[in-house]
Structure 1
Amino acid sequence: AGNRQEFYDGVESRLGVRPEIIPGQEEAQLSFGGAVAAAQARGPVALPALVMDVGGGSTELFVGADAGSASGVSLDMGSVRIRERFLHSDPPTAAEVGEATAFIDGLLDSSGIDFATPATWFGVGGTATALAAIVLELPAYDRALVDGATLTREQIAALSERLLTWPVARVLQIPTMVPGRADVICAGALIVRRIAERLAVPLAVSEADILDGLVAGLLA
């Protein structure tokens, strides 16, 4: 951000502390710890787990048995990046979807992630929670219902297919859709679908992420 110094100074003058930017590795490990700890509070979790966070510009994938040993990658594909680079039409054409799929598959295949390893797959962040709310057909977003929701590979594929064939105006009619996400959710769904195709386990959606990971680390 061009005004980051102004932001830092404003925070420090009001709170007495200077903001700290954490590196991507730590961010991903905190998300991993938050998702796993929240799930373990509900019951046993099969490990190792894969934690996925599909953002606007990148997608983080981390695998491990705990936050300290989890390792993974940050891939240069996110819902905004894929939409802007490949999915130019409204709705996207078959050719555009094909190009986007090939690009996503190339990054996943060269990521170094062993997709045969995870016994549990968690999705954190806005893309995963938005997809869960649509599958659940919620009339309004409900954190309690989204947290812990499970999406099968078939459900993810069907939803991705639907979103990629709908114009943005139709997507905006989804009750739980945030306007700022309506034009890019199709790209996010495509990314999640390509990951789902490589895994033998369903997607467990989690509302817990970085802040929960921080708390879990403090309590450890």
Structure 2
Amino acid sequence: MNEQTLSLRLERVAAHMPAGAHLADIGSDHAYLPVALLHRGVIATAVAGEVALTPFRAAERTVGENGLERRISVRLANGLAAIEPEDGITAVSLCGMGGETIRDILDSGKARLSGRERLILQPNGGEQPLRQWLMDNGYRILCEEVLRENRFYYEIIVAERGKPVTYSAEELYFGPLQMQARSPTFLAKWQRLLRQKQKTLASFAKARQAVPEQKLQDTARQVRWITELLAELH
């Protein structure tokens, strides 16, 4: 992967970018996403935020090699602290982190958001608590997709502030739009997860030490939800 050829995940994130956006790519790593989007004429400007020094230097290098220093500001900062009001940010991307990490970054940096930005999120697991945060903070999920890359399943969640919306517990778990669309990749992901959860339940039954009741109930409920979801399709 480089600034010319993005990974499948980042290509799908790029597909949800509004034209002419002022992007804040948080946890930008090598800044491949903002550089590619600028080369393609999709976005106007970008902030590439990185909390760690090594990826920050890598991002600076990519931006410099592409002669984009005037259009992309590379900043060493924690989460949304990379955003300044004068940036006029209209889109925020957070990719390749756990859903809980993305949630925590959004929550601790809430004051930096105007509420007019599109959030384009690609969590590595932990989608449920992330969707919960979006719902609790007045964000509506506009688009969701699940894709498979290198044997792993990844989700993309696109959200904007709008009229308050209430999602059910199952919708927060599976994704409200994914439950409706039920793509083959979505079904394959949950078939695989069902097998994993069933194995976990079986191992709980054999465990020498007592498994906390809450954990047992949570796993059993998830198995029930997935079984019901898949049964509806047959």
Q: TM-score range by the shorter chain?
A: under 0.3
Q: TM-score, normalised by structure 1?
A: 0.26
Greater C-alpha radius of gyration: 2
- The two structures have a TM-score, normalised by structure 2, of 0.25
